[in-house]
Amino acid sequence: MAKQKITKKKVTKQKKANTVKSINYDVYDFRFDDVKKHCDTLSTPEEKILYLQFVKKEKSNNTGGLDLELYLDGPSFIEKIENEIEYIKMQMKFKKKDAKQIGSIDKIVWLKNRQDFVALFDVLMNTGFISYKKDKYVTLSKHFSWIDGEMTPDQLKHLKNNITNKAEVYQLSDEMGTVVEKLQNKN
């Protein structure tokens, strides 16, 4: 029985290897318009580039027959393929830039002093107006930024400690002091 199991595993491995090797694309007799149409049906830019690279490789390796491109004006088939690949790569770069810009725009900017921010959200969280699942400072820094830069959890922790331990140096503005006091008195 043990020999049969080993044999089955080997056969399975051989079948898998054969399926990987059999992946192939249609080159449409190297007609650029047909290749481009097929390329447009592929879903991801990576698949499109892979397909175009395959067609380009096959065209370079195909030496049989008369090459009519030598007698036509304009870019050759391979030049058209290379142009298409470059265009797809450029699109990918712009999509990545857009994604990065969206990530930095999504934050709410705190315009007043930093001590006011920490004190306000500390009171809102302690009085039950706002809840958080894990680290409140990480949560706040993901959604807010300072007017002059990014907010970090360490900055928030440092400010909270300073407001608690050095209240004479790190004072709240009069407006925020009133708001905090009213919120604390409600509970």
Residue 60, classed as helix, strand or coil, is helix
pLDDT-based confidence at 2, cuts 50/70/90?
A: very low
Segment 156-176, tens digit of pLDDT: 888 888 777 776 666 778 888
> What are the sequence ranges of the domains in the chain?
24-105, 108-186
User: Which of 27-31, 76-80, 86-90, 141-145 is predicted least confidently?
Assistant: 141-145
Confidence band of 107 (pLDDT split at 50, 70, 90): confident
Quick one: average pLDDT of 75-87?
Answer: 92
The larger pLDDT score, comparing residue 2 to residue 71, is at 71
Per residue in 110-157, pLDDT (tens digit) is 888 888 888 888 888 888 888 777 778 888 888 888 877 788 888 888
| CA 114/CA 122 separation, integer angstroms | 12
**Alpha-carbon separation of residue 174 from 3, 65, 113, 125, 181 (angstroms):** 85, 87, 12, 21, 10
Mean pLDDT for 38-48 is 90
**pLDDT band of 87, cuts 50, 70, 90:** very high
* pLDDT on residue 173: 82
Please state, in angstroms and as integers, the Cα–Cα distance from residue 176 to each residue in 11, 71, 173, 181, following that order. Answer: 74, 79, 5, 8
Q: Which of 81, 76, 32, 83 is nearest to 54 (CA)?
A: 81
- State residue 170's pLDDT score: 65
- Answer yes or no: is pLDDT of 16 > 50: no
Strand order, beta sheet including 108-110: 108-110, 144-146, 149-150
